[in-house]
Chains A and B, each alone.
Chain A
Amino acid sequence: MKIMQCPLNGPRNISEFVYGGEVRQMPEPNLCSDEEWAEYVFFHDNQIGLVQEWWLHAPSGYWFIAERHTASDDIVRTFDPSERFKERVEFAPNPEVSAA
């Protein structure tokens, strides 16, 4: 079975992990337009290459980020989210609202 390196638990079988989608910025749901929200929820880049993705180690309930190639399935690096998110994350700025 394919092995994934969990930053918290070490190498584990891939079946213990749950895919959580690409890491991307969420628009402010209360302020963005329906169109922007649909774009965020449904539309994807879905390209071939290295991407950063959320993964969950289900038995320990631990979310982390993995850098994975979407064609070779090589998992280049896994790391704790604190490495990327050093401070509180704000929603993507909404140009219309900030102009108002």
Chain B
Amino acid sequence: MPFSLLKYGLRDDYPFEKDPDLPAPTELKRHYDVVIVGGGGHGVATAYYLAKYHGITNVAILEKGYLGGGNTARNTAVIRSNYLTPEGVKFYTESVKLFKGLSNEFDFNIMYSRRGQLTLAHTDSAIRAFRQRAEINRHFGGDTELIDPQQIRELVPTLNMNPGDLPVLAGLWHRDGATARHDAVAWGYAKGATQRGVELHQLTEVTGFEVENNTVRAVKTNRGTVQCGCVVQAVAGHSSLLAAKAGFRMPILTYPLQAMVTQPVKPFLNPLVSSPALHCYVQQTGRGELVFGGGSDPYPLYNTRSTLDLKESLLAHAVELFPFMANLRLMRQWTGLTDMTSDYSPIMGLSPVDNYYLDAGWGTWGFKATPICGWTMAQLVASGGKVPELIEPFAMERFRSFRQVNEMGATAASH
């Protein structure tokens, strides 16, 4: 009824306000059982699972900027599990499963959209590697297969089958490939965590740790010092910097990664498409924009600046894949910081400091792991340091025992 709508619009309490999504900021308490450093997807997910499934709610998330404003806001929101090693495939498959149910779990729409992900092979050796990945994926319950050029044409009719004189010979078709709204993932977890009593402190930067007998007793911040039972480090892009404050080094080098998005066009591209040989991946968002990402910058840097030469080479490759994109305009571009490990797998679990747990080394593959990271890190914290089986292979110790988990060939764009 238009009349009742008008009446509703003129009411004093319009717009109708429910409880705010996040509670108002408070002072820091003197002691928390768990201090999570980093209020991005991984940090808030850890807090959420701690509160919901382990009953641990005396938890503070310390974030130097704002919720989900770091690399959670700077990735290209790709969800997939078609990795190469059994360890990686098992881990990311669990993450994809959790992603599927997140909107229901939160009662908050994360805009999860299952599209399928297509990786292109331009050489015989790539086909061999893809066949291996398809077999490993299927073995661990993933939905991945090798497809031929005719099937690729049917899936993506607009794709140039001979981009840059690198003919498309085959594709790795991963039906579980998906995308979701990255901000909403962080917000959903943060809302669920704070409703259960977790405190989210934004604009709170960790400046140091008080370590006694190899145990962190307190966390020093720009808003004062808090005592803590244990610390979880979840600061993608700054892992080495925070670890240095706790007194140890990490097997990480930090590189910028540049991405960009075009003006919106009608929906024409359902799957996420990537070409490791062309260092490029492309997907169309729900709003119709095309998101591009590529490899990291050629040398380490702690800076989110953009460079024209990297943009040029990335776009040249994107236009090879989809020639009509040459007519589109770029709308935005941005840069994230990627903590690259030499085997392209994360660093999770224990650190040289007893009650200091690591969720680091998330390079270019962190967003897709958000739910399973929260899940396993919460288990690790709740058990007082018993490493869950799923993340055992990702221990930092693997670099000292030479047991790396090599995922180098399985990143969307080789680096």
Contact = CB atoms under 8 A, between A and B. Distances in A.
Interface of A: 1-2, 14-15, 18-19, 34-35, 38-39, 42-48, 70-73
A29 B250 CA distance: 21
Given A19-B300, A71-B303, A1 B308 contact: yes
Given A44-B253, A46-B252, A71 B342 contact: no
Interface of B: 240-241, 244, 249-254, 298-303, 305, 307-309, 342, 399-400, 402
Majority SS of interface residues in chain B?
Answer: loop
A19 B301 CA distance: 11
A32 to B, nearest CB: 13
Contacts of B400: 34-35, 38-39
A13 B91 CA distance: 42
Nearest to A49: B302
B240 A38 contact: no
Tell me which of A1, A42, A47 has the highest count of chain B C-beta atoms within 10 A of its own C-beta: A42
Nearest to A15: B309
Contact of B309 (A1, A42, A48): A1
A47 B244 contact: yes
A38 B249 CA distance: 12
B241 A47 contact: yes
Contacts of B302: 48, 70-71
Contact of B250 (A1, A35, A44, A48): A44
Contacts, number: 58
B345 to A, nearest CB: 12
B399 A19 contact: no
A38 B402 contact: yes
A44 B250 CA distance: 6
Contacts of B253: 44, 46
A35 B402 CA distance: 10
A45 B303 contact: no
Contacts of A14: 309
Contact of A19 (B298, B303, B402): B298
Contacts of B301: 70-71, 73
B402 A72 contact: no
A43 B399 contact: yes
A37 B251 CA distance: 13
Contacts of A46: 240-241, 249-250, 252-254, 300
A19 B241 contact: no
A72 to B, nearest CB: 7
Given A39-B249, A71-B303, 8 more contacts: A15-B309, A18-B298, A43-B250, A46-B241, A46-B254, A47-B240, A71-B302, A73-B303
A52 to B, nearest CB: 14
17 contacts: A2-B309, A15-B309, A19-B298, A19-B299, A38-B399, A42-B342, A42-B399, A43-B249, A43-B399, A45-B240, A46-B240, A46-B252, A46-B253, A47-B241, A70-B300, A71-B303, A73-B305
Contact of A42 (B251, B254, B305, B308): B251
A34 B397 CA distance: 12
A92 to B, nearest CB: 16
By Cβ-Cβ distance, the 5 closest A-B pairs, closest first, are A46-B240, A19-B299, A42-B251, A42-B399, A71-B302
Contacts of A34: 400, 402
A51 to B, nearest CB: 9
Contact of B249 (A15, A44, A48): A44
Contacts of B305: 73
A43 B244 contact: no
Contacts of A18: 298
Nearest to B302: A71
Nearest to B240: A46
Contact of A44 (B251, B303, B307): B251
